[in-house]
Structure 1
């Protein structure tokens, strides 16, 4: 069992080091940066190595000239070759002493040198540039070097030398530096790779795997590693892991709740057909009872009919809310005033008297789903009637690019408990036995149209709802309620 695990680990490590993973990219980027920095820092060392080679030859040439002890006047004469046994690459030496005495040593016929070097005037930067040229094979084959002798103040040494040994020495030194630089870069990169892999890459992999596991199996995805990562400290990674853990838990709870609602919707949808058949029979009995001459039977029929109608509405709303996806919208040119008139005619509050004024202009025609807008308006009017409003005024704002329908009811206003759960399913109703789905479904229908349903104002003088008929994301303005009791300003309809 250990061998497959080891093989898997080695393959994973190989993918991290040489693949397209973030840790592998960090490793090789680190190595490249370190090599670049070392190239900049180590280039002056090549210049120093070149200068050391030249100064060493100047010193050895001084000693060789003194050993030869053959003074010449202003010319380089070829002495015996044995005077240059330690400097095989030096062809000639000229030593000028402080008293202007000149001593010369030559190994044979001297060719004209290709480059003259005044060593005392060279800077490290210039010497580094010349060293790089020699490593690249671009330097002259012979050089003449003139420098003050480091062995005797006031003495000057002039040598002619073959530059091939200098090229070889610089290339060997550069190779040595390159090997050391590569080893340092690799070791540093691996250490940085291990640190980043521990501190950043591994936590990112844990969070990525948690997200992937949640996507594949939201209900059973484990979060043990994510929990341990969130508990490791107060750094940014731990905070991100904690936020991710809480988000996944919230989403799991929401998915569970939605699954329950979907299951509820499926169950209700399956039984709704049979339930409506049963309720149809009850409505048929109620209609027969209404034909009776007995007043008590008529009252019972009226009560039975209302109860059956409310049951049908509850089933329909539950099915609509539990249906997956937004409601289907079929747009046609709709005259909002006509739709509102139909909704007003459909409002039948039990034992209540309400006046409803329709001030929507007849020329306001928009591309809407007539049935869905009708449902929204009907729900708002019924809510106002059942809340005890004595009057409702419906107006429109068409001056802007976002037309609004404003529904103002002159009732007691919404209680605080209802305001806290206004658009929450099964929790936002202020009436006993109501599902609280009416406003939720109405808002979903408005959003499906690209608009919005908002509560603009509520209080003891009444409540104002605003229907935005555009895709604007701006919140609806708070519309002031009238500060005086309702007074009719035109024809009214009584129900």
Structure 2
């Protein structure tokens, strides 16, 4: 009960809309009432002028143009005046003199009065600021060439205006309440109820984002383009994407737990491989020694990758061990590793030897290797790596001649499990590469992609300090 009552006294959006509509309607009615008062005053006075002229015509039909005292008083009472004078052809005739001593303390000429002036005088009359008796002059509606002058008792006019104001105010209040109710029902249906659906869905999703169902879009809302319908569709889409992301994160967390459990055995396997590689490096055959050196380097990188991957899964981006690194040498090493895996790929590098940014060589090597391998696996036959310095940033451009990224991959770029450009891919390569670049305080962006190739750009600070 308190909840419902609270909505009506202003604690809900619908109640506030209701009272706002009522208040605005009342303000409009007040703005209309003031001119209406002025018009009603003028109409009342003109009615007195007309009735006074009729009373004067009645007197003119009497013998010798004179009536007895009781008839005079009755004619003055019926006309609502204290005295009547006619002015015609320059002659002024006191048709009906006052019943007693009447002293007009003010005068009004209705022919020259404006609506604004009439409103002000009506308010003066209502609040007792006008003289008690006033002389009113106006052309007769019956005979425009006849000027009628009457003395009006303002308290009588004040009672009439207050009665008119009370009646109009009551009608205005009824109209305001009815208008407010109609607007309330309409806004409650088209605005408040949809907003309530949105807020309830948001609340449910906040309480249990993994299991709460996304907002159900009604068929009528699918084709509407107003703000609430758009917000509902966007909220449903966001909830669907967030829930999918939470499920992916849960799966990744489970995967990280599984990887952590097997990391010990994996390190033992790599240790055995490293031991065998060390023994092979002592072989008398130069070819075997060369291959063993490459194998040792690969096993060491694999061991380091397992360690850093576990740290990344548990704590976020890996800590960086920065040092001045010759970028040309780093890119050449990554290009050599890529060629071993993709023999048909032609890699061209254009890296000035003087560029030596402060970075973690191992992590940047992983980022570049992911980008180059992605290009090769996407079908590129030629890869061009170039670099330069711009506004304190080291710019590394990776341009291939592959078929370009499909629209689905572009829409989900850098998102694991959704941003892969090839069938069966996971999209982890780009996601990991961007995380590693961001760990250096830089950014990995897609510059362009088309059927003629794809252009990625890495920008990192030359000196992070």
TM-score (norm 2): 0.73
Q: What's 1:157 paired with?
A: 148
Counterparts in 2 of 1:389 and 1:314: CA distance versus 1, 3 Å: farther
Distance, in Å, in 2 between the alignment partners of 1:254 and 1:99 is 98
Distance, in Å, in 2 between the alignment partners of 1:103 and 1:419 is 98
Q: Does 1:83 align with 2:75?
A: no
Distance, in Å, in 2 between the alignment partners of 1:306 and 1:331 is 20
Q: Does 1:172 align with 2:163?
A: yes
Unaligned stretches of 5+ in structure 1? 1-6, 74-78, 472-495
Counterparts in 2 of 1:119 and 1:458: CA distance versus 1, 3 Å: closer
Superposition pairs for residues 109-188 of structure 1, below 5 Å? 109-111=101-103, 113-150=104-141, 155-188=146-179
Counterparts in 2 of 1:107 and 1:265: CA distance versus 1, 3 Å: same
3-state SS of 1:186 partner: helix
Superposition pairs for residues 355-434 of structure 1, below 5 Å? 360-377=351-368, 395-398=386-389, 402-406=393-397, 425=416
Q: What's 1:485 paired with?
A: none
- The count of corresponding residues between Structure 1 and Structure 2 is 448
Alpha-carbon shift at residue 38 of structure 1 (Å): 2.6
Alpha-carbon shift at residue 160 of structure 1 (Å): 1.9
**Higher-helix-fraction structure:** 2
Q: Does 1:284 align with 2:275?
A: yes
Distance, in Å, in 2 between the alignment partners of 1:83 and 1:298 is 142
Alpha-carbon shift at residue 256 of structure 1 (Å): 1.2
> Is the Cα–Cα contact under 8 Å of residues 345 and 376 in structure 2 kept in the other structure?
yes
Q: Deviations over 1:69-113 (max 9, x none)?
A: 69899xxxxx957732465674333245789564232222232x2
Q: What's 2:4 paired with?
A: 10
Distance, in Å, in 1 between the alignment partners of 2:454 and 2:217 is 51
Distance, in Å, in 2 between the alignment partners of 1:253 and 1:198 is 32
Q: Deviations over 1:372-415 (max 9, x none)?
A: 33433455678899999999875422366653234579xxx657
Alpha-carbon shift at residue 161 of structure 1 (Å): 2.6
3-state SS of 2:246 partner: helix
TM-score (norm 1): 0.69
Q: Deviations over 1:344-368 (max 9, x none)?
A: 8988948979999875334434454
Distance, in Å, in 1 between the alignment partners of 2:450 and 2:135 is 101
> Is the Cα–Cα contact under 8 Å of residues 230 and 241 in structure 1 kept in the other structure?
no
Q: Does 1:451 align with 2:440?
A: no
Q: What's 1:257 paired with?
A: 248
Alpha-carbon shift at residue 203 of structure 1 (Å): 0.3
3-state SS of 1:94 partner: strand
Q: What's 1:478 paired with?
A: none
Q: Deviations over 1:252-284 (max 9, x none)?
A: 222212221122123323432453134324543
Superposition pairs for residues 337-356 of structure 1, below 5 Å? 337=328, 339-340=330-331, 349=340
Counterparts in 2 of 1:254 and 1:267: CA distance versus 1, 3 Å: same
> Is the Cα–Cα contact under 8 Å of residues 217 and 232 in structure 2 kept in the other structure?
no
Counterparts in 2 of 1:303 and 1:366: CA distance versus 1, 3 Å: closer
Alpha-carbon shift at residue 55 of structure 1 (Å): 2.8
Q: What's 1:492 paired with?
A: none
Aligned counterpart for 1:51 among listed residues 39, 42, 47:
42
Superposition CA RMSD, Å: 5.1
